[in-house]
A and B are shown apart, each in its own frame.
Chain A
Amino acid sequence: MGLSRRPDPAITQLSSGGDPWTTTRLDFVVNWARANSLWPMPFGTACCAIEFMATAASRFDLARFGMERQSFSPRQADVLICAGRVPFKLAPVLRRIWQQMPQPKWCISMGSCASSGNGIFDNYAVVQGIDTIIPVDVYVPGCPPRPEGLLYGIMLLQKKVMNERSADKSLRNEMEPDPRSQLYIPAPMIDEVSEPFGNSVHQTRSGL
């Protein structure tokens, strides 16, 4: 993605006399740099992590999209890729890891379990969607998604990053959880998005 050959309205090339030079928007350059050097922090808990490994390995090669460096420390990461189901016991860990990541940061929820609890894990132990714990930018459906699916989600995230504006400071606001309940969205909304759908509504609630 060379700057000089890309026909983008954000870039103007001038060559009137002397050396040619280029003007552009600062937002464009910053977003271009960010979108093409996202450092992922894999948070793999289940089979989605296997597909993530396949995505990162040579055949699908995540490095083509600027994700050359897997960051296994949240302090040097840009994208949290949550791959797999998150039990309630892991919820404070995921929240802590998200809070340890510096801005700018994004989150990809990979797979149905991380996105919604997947229906089959609609039980006492599993969080029904990690968006009840941390804000999520891109949801990748699938059980687990194929590497192409994850790559498509990553490219969507790159598009999202390219459309950010540095004047919009609210993009970089940390979503502060309520200090008393530690929830960052209202409790009734969590109950609503965690409601079962499809056949699981008709399952018995009491075991007897």
Chain B
Amino acid sequence: MVAGSALPSDAPAPATAKSVPQLGGTPNPSAAALQARFPTAVRSIGVVWGETTVIVDRGELLEVVQWLHDDASQRYDFLSDVTAVEFRDLELPIEVVWHLRSLPYRRFLRLKVLLEKGSPLEVPSVWSVYKAADWLERECYDMFGIRFTGHPDLRRLLMWEQYREGYPLRKDFPLRGRFSRSEQLRQALAANPEARYSKEELSIAQAFEDLPDDMRRRLSAGEKTGE
């Protein structure tokens, strides 16, 4: 028993980095349920650092996520991340990763889809299930060039929309970019910093009816904000 700790001496050890094995352990019960429900979609189940990773088939991803979200015994109501991993080894596929969290059951589940290097980098978008996927998928598309089919507005998020040098987090992308510094600066300065705050912007167009009268009038007259 540690001095100053109120825990009894026979209490289970807290889950610290040393007490959790790097590989193996009990998988999340959702993984077995997923395998029973979608026997063809689940390719493998692994546990790393106490977190369960399920590799699923690309074609059935959307049904899997929908079921995890809707089913009363799962209720994965929070999508915390969408990202991708590319390895230096040319033979290894690119992995697209979804981090799901079930707040009612306190579970964490990691889904992966493997995309072979030669194949088109396309996966179904989970935007119809989680609205949080909107910007996460845009970022993933921006950095890795993975197209999320079904996403309503798949544009670049971090880099500007006219960025033409490629996808920065891919392994074949040079650290300093493909163009010379002056060309990069020329293209960056050519962008209009106010162009995106227009009525045509999707989110503003959706909220247009809720805006105050004067702002609605100004935006209808084609005024750009900021000037």
Query: Do A182 and B181 touch (CB < 8 A)?
Result: no
Q: Does A16 sit within 8 A of B, measured CB to CB?
A: no
- Contact status B172-A124, CB under 8 Å: no
Q: Is the CB of A182 within 8 A of B190?
A: yes
Contact of A123 with B by CB under 8 A:
yes
The bracket for how many chain B residues form the interface is 20 to 34
State A61–B69 Cα separation when bound (angstroms): 54
Q: Is B177 a contact of A92 with CB atoms below 8 Å?
A: no
Q: Is residue A156 within 8 Å, beta carbon to beta carbon, of the partner chain?
A: no
CB-based contact A122/B185 at 8 Å: no
| A191 B182 Cβ-Cβ under 8 A | yes
The complex places the Cα of A208 from the Cα of B170 at a distance, in Å, of 10
Range class of the A interface residue count: 20 to 34
Q: Which residues of B contact A182 (CB under 8 A)?
A: 186, 189-190
* Complex alpha-carbon distance, A132 and B189, angstroms: 11
The reply on B188 being an interface residue by CB < 8 A is yes
Contact partners of B165 in chain A: CB under 8 A: 124
A207 to B170, CA, bound (A): 8
- A208 near B190: Cβ-Cβ < 8 Å: no
Check A205–B175 contact: CB distance below 8 A. yes
**Which DSSP category, helix, strand, loop or mixed, fits chain B's interface?**
loop
Given contacts A93-B193, A124-B165, contact A187 B173 (CB under 8 A): no
Interface of A is mostly: loop
- Any chain A CB within 8 A of the CB of B7? no
Q: Report yes or no: A89 in contact with B182, Cβ–Cβ below 8 A.
A: no
Q: Which residues of A contact B198 (CB under 8 A)?
A: none
Contact partners of A190 in chain B: CB under 8 A = 181-182, 185
- Of the residues B159, B175, B185, contact of A91 by C-beta under 8 Å: B185
Docked pose: A132 CA to B183 CA in angstroms? 12
Is B188 in contact with A92, judged by CB distance below 8 angstroms? yes
Interface residues of B (CB under 8 A from A): 88, 158-160, 165, 168, 170-177, 180-186, 188-193
A–B complex contacts, Cβ < 8 Å, 12 sampled: A95-B189, A123-B176, A124-B176, A133-B185, A181-B186, A187-B186, A190-B182, A194-B182, A196-B176, A206-B174, A207-B171, A208-B171
- Which A residues contact B (CB, under 8 angstroms)? 88-89, 91-93, 95-96, 122-125, 127-128, 132-133, 177, 181-183, 187-188, 190-191, 194, 196, 203-208
